[in-house]
Chain A
Amino acid sequence: MSTSYLIKNAAILGGEPTDLLLQDGTIQQIAPGLAADDAVEVIDATGLVALPGLVDLHTHLREPGREDAETVDSGTQAAALGGFTAVFAMANTEPVADTAGVVEQVWRLGREAGHCDVYPIGAVTVGLQGERLAELGAMADSAARVRVFSDDGKCVHDPVLMRRALEYVKAFDGVVAQHAQEPRLTEGAQMNEGELSGRLGLAGWPAVAEEAIIARDVLLAEHVGSRLHVCHLSTAGSVEIVRWAKAKGVDVTAEACPHHLLLTDELAATYDPIYKVNPPLRSAADVEAVRAGLADGTIDIVATDHAPHPHEDKDCEWAAAAFGMLGLETALSIVQQTMVDPGLLDWAGVAERMSYAPARIGRVADHGRPIEVGAPANVVLYDPGATRTVDPSESASLSRNTPYRGMELPGRVVATFLRGKATVLDGKLA
């Protein structure tokens, strides 16, 4: 029989402290002053906020193919430590997750690891080549039950192919998650295009290359009546376009990454490729606009774009380095610092952006549920009063490419429960 947990004095979504009994995989009782019996483990959650288990719609677990950077096991450990109970694994593995076989492998590895639920994302096109549709239906019908499709890392730039993908996935209530990057406008691009890229002599990644694709895609989604998800939106212009599309009634959702809520392109002046990411770090004005968009709901969710890379791919010249940064273990702290502490979001808003909405977009029923009696016991206990200094060597990820190295961040995940089973206790893997 699995352990039952009695959580004492937890502030659900930052509300009045109460007790929660997690038993048999579900939340059995919620009330102040619940009595403990010998069979339960009691956790004192005084001062802690209880949130629904977080859901990340955008994670790179690298397996199969790049097990030197991350595995499903190590990546989901990092996820659990970050308060996540479910992650969606991007398709740009080797081989690409473009068949039922590969997505079932990733799904099975996730179940075996057991640190959080893993929902594979299927590639939109064969080999991410942008030429013809992968067998989306086979992936949807597989044991992995794929509902989110993305060529992330590459843009589905052919407008006809994008239209077909948007239409086709309607048959199984899927969604296309677009990596919005016009390829011709970003050939050789290294950083945000602006005055700084000109000074540093690094080829620019202009905002318009993202915005032009988002504008096209919302119009396509409207035309064919499909739903569209925009990955890692990073510019003020993108926020405006999504806001406009939503006002028109287009079925579009959008995500922002923690690093685009905090870091700016000025960091490229170090030439340290730890700050090299795609889409690139943008201007301070863009960061402000993304925060405002996340606060007012234009941007639906926070997703990490957790992108592990081995040391040698970051310990080199900027142009030679890989794009991407770690994110799972720091996401909630960054959201607290950039959104909660300044008063842009309350904890209910965090639950919506980091749990309910990503689960809705990904069409998973057992995650992203409010903390209430009868719901699956997917719960995270978080101490917003703690501070910590980020030490890359402490990460559960196999990679060390965090841009927050040495930074003091607020908050700490104390415990994570997946269907009533502790995956993290006292801030450590259980």
Chain B
Amino acid sequence: MKRHLLSAADLSRDDAELVLATADEMRSLADRPIKKLPALRGRTVVNLFFEDSTRTRISFEAAAKRLSADVINFSAKGSSLSKGESLKDTALTLEAMGADAVVVRHGASGAPHLLAHSGWVRSSVVNAGDGTHEHPTQALLDAFTMWKHLGESKPGGLEGRRIAIVGDVLHSRVARSNALLLRTLGAEVTLVAPPTLLPVGIEGWPVETSYDLDGVLPKADAVMMLRVQRERMHGGFFPTAREYSRRYGLDGKRMAMLQDHTIVMHPGPMVRGMEITADVADSDRSVIVEQVTNGVAVRMAVLYLLLGGSEPAVGGEE
């Protein structure tokens, strides 16, 4: 693997499958009485969050702690975009404290890229979501969840599987990372959205696109619903929340169109009643809670592999 994880495009197929396999081992830890490994003892992981995201931060925090790393949470809300402390000065401070890995969440697309390439820090940089660009560990945990359900946990298990990603693709870092990673893993991705919420130039992406959710659902093996912020309505991307839900929301009636094995996913936080109804979110097909559990295992795998874990992660040392 490369030294940083900035984009899902940084992962080759071998890299991605190594993360999935390693995460599978990490996942098995959850069933043990002691859920902790010594693998990153003495290493320091900094969670550098310029945007609020409690769920992503605690997921990384749990992952690092289960690997015995020291964790520092650095909440720098109000970045240089709002004339607070600059990214550069924050980075220099962290470097002076000796971080081995920096997990960064930032509202500006490319901020993790800048951190990794600026020379300000020597540590590994993990992108925990940047602007409307990418969120690669979310894509990895989504892929892991699909791989467990649809791919028999085997290499190549997602080959040819059909994944529908539905909603605000334009503003979604999750959609970008998922599209890239799932293609790398051989899945066929269809992005479904009203035309106003698909980026210009999407014809060049390695995905299918559709404006018609009902046409896509019967063929999908997994359906991932993206959060649609109500603010988008004021941007004129669609006329009303009701109309959005009617055309692109997943409700019980649409769920009935799915194949028996098809799973329903959501990266959270959900807007119940907007893109997904409560009965779908809480149904047997929904793997939304499992995604959260898998998030910790996948982030353990990423931190372990980036920080040079060459020994087998599980077993040995204890």
Which A residues lie at the B interface, using CB under 8 A?
190, 193-204, 206, 270-272, 312, 315-320
- The answer, yes or no, to whether B4 is at the interface (CB within 8 Å) is no
Q: A317-B87, A317-B106, A319-B81 are in contact. Are A194 and B201 (CB under 8 A)?
A: yes
A204 to B108, CA, bound (A): 14
Near A by CB (< 8 A), chain B positions 255-294 give none
Which B residues lie at the A interface, using CB under 8 A?
79-81, 86-88, 106-111, 113-114, 117-118, 130-134, 173, 176, 199-205
Q: A201-B133, A312-B86, A316-B86 are in contact. Are A195 and B201 (CB under 8 A)?
A: yes
Write the chain A residue with the least CB distance to B130.
A201
The 10 A-B pairs at the shortest CB distance, nearest first, are namely A195-B201, A201-B133, A198-B199, A271-B110, A317-B108, A201-B109, A201-B132, A195-B204, A319-B108, A271-B113
Residues of B within 8 Å of A316, CB to CB, are 80, 86-88, 114
- Contact, CB under 8 Å: B109 / A198: no
Q: List 7 A-B contacts (CB under 8 A).
A: A194-B200, A198-B202, A201-B133, A204-B199, A317-B87, A319-B131, A320-B81
- Contact, CB under 8 Å: A318 / B200: no
- Contact, CB under 8 Å: B201 / A200: no
CB distance from A401 to the nearest CB of B (A): 16
Contacting residue for A319 out of B109, B176, B199, B201, CB 8 A: B109
Residues of B within 8 Å of A315, CB to CB, are 88, 118
Q: A316-B80, A317-B106, A320-B80 are in contact. Are A201 and B134 (CB under 8 A)?
A: yes
Residue of B130, B133, B201, B205 most packed against chain A (CB within 10 A): B201
A319 to B79, CA, bound (A): 11
Contacting residue for B199 out of A197, A270, A312, A318, CB 8 A: A197
- Contact, CB under 8 Å: A199 / B176: yes
Residues of B within 8 Å of A319, CB to CB, are 81, 107-110, 131
Q: A317-B106, A317-B108, A317-B111 are in contact. Are A198 and B79 (CB under 8 A)?
A: no
Contacting residue for A201 out of B118, B176, B201, B204, CB 8 A: B176
- Contact, CB under 8 Å: A204 / B200: yes
- Contact, CB under 8 Å: B201 / A202: no
A192 to B195, CA, bound (A): 20
- Contact, CB under 8 Å: A202 / B110: yes
CB distance from A271 to the nearest CB of B (A): 3
A316 to B199, CA, bound (A): 25
- Contact, CB under 8 Å: A195 / B200: yes
Residues of B within 8 Å of A204, CB to CB, are 199-200
A198 to B106, CA, bound (A): 18
A204 to B200, CA, bound (A): 9
Residues of A within 8 Å of B131, CB to CB, are 201-202, 319
CB distance from B276 to the nearest CB of A (A): 24
- Contact, CB under 8 Å: A198 / B201: yes
Residues of A within 8 Å of B118, CB to CB, are 315
Residue of B87, B176, B199, B205 most packed against chain A (CB within 10 A): B199
- Contact, CB under 8 Å: B108 / A318: yes
Write the chain B residue with the least CB distance to A319.
B108
CB distance from B184 to the nearest CB of A (A): 15
A198 to B200, CA, bound (A): 6
With A318-B108, A320-B80 already in contact, 13 other A-B pairs whose C-beta atoms are closer than 8 Å: A197-B201, A200-B109, A200-B110, A201-B131, A201-B132, A201-B173, A202-B109, A202-B132, A271-B113, A317-B80, A319-B108, A320-B79, A320-B81
Write the chain A residue with the least CB distance to B170.
A198
A195 to B204, CA, bound (A): 7
Write the chain B residue with the least CB distance to A195.
B201
CB distance from B112 to the nearest CB of A (A): 9
CB distance from B79 to the nearest CB of A (A): 7
A197 to B133, CA, bound (A): 9
Write the chain A residue with the least CB distance to B111.
A317
CB distance from B41 to the nearest CB of A (A): 34
A364 to B114, CA, bound (A): 45
Residues of B within 8 Å of A203, CB to CB, are 132
Write the chain B residue with the least CB distance to A316.
B80
Residues of B within 8 Å of A312, CB to CB, are 86
CB distance from B130 to the nearest CB of A (A): 7
- Contact, CB under 8 Å: A318 / B109: yes
- Contact, CB under 8 Å: A317 / B200: no
Write the chain A residue with the least CB distance to B202.
A198
Residues of A within 8 Å of B130, CB to CB, are 201
Residues of B within 8 Å of A195, CB to CB, are 200-205
CB distance from B11 to the nearest CB of A (A): 16
A319 to B82, CA, bound (A): 11
Write the chain B residue with the least CB distance to A194.
B201
Residue of A193, A272, A319 most packed against chain B (CB within 10 A): A319
CB distance from B235 to the nearest CB of A (A): 9
Contacting residue for B114 out of A199, A200, A317, CB 8 A: A317
Residue of B79, B86, B106, B110 most packed against chain A (CB within 10 A): B110
A198 to B81, CA, bound (A): 21
- Contact, CB under 8 Å: B86 / A318: no
A312 to B87, CA, bound (A): 11
A200 to B6, CA, bound (A): 12
A312 to B86, CA, bound (A): 9
Residues of B within 8 Å of A206, CB to CB, are 200
A320 to B118, CA, bound (A): 15
A320 to B113, CA, bound (A): 14
Residue of B111, B117, B130, B203 most packed against chain A (CB within 10 A): B111
A197 to B200, CA, bound (A): 8
CB distance from B108 to the nearest CB of A (A): 4
CB distance from B103 to the nearest CB of A (A): 17
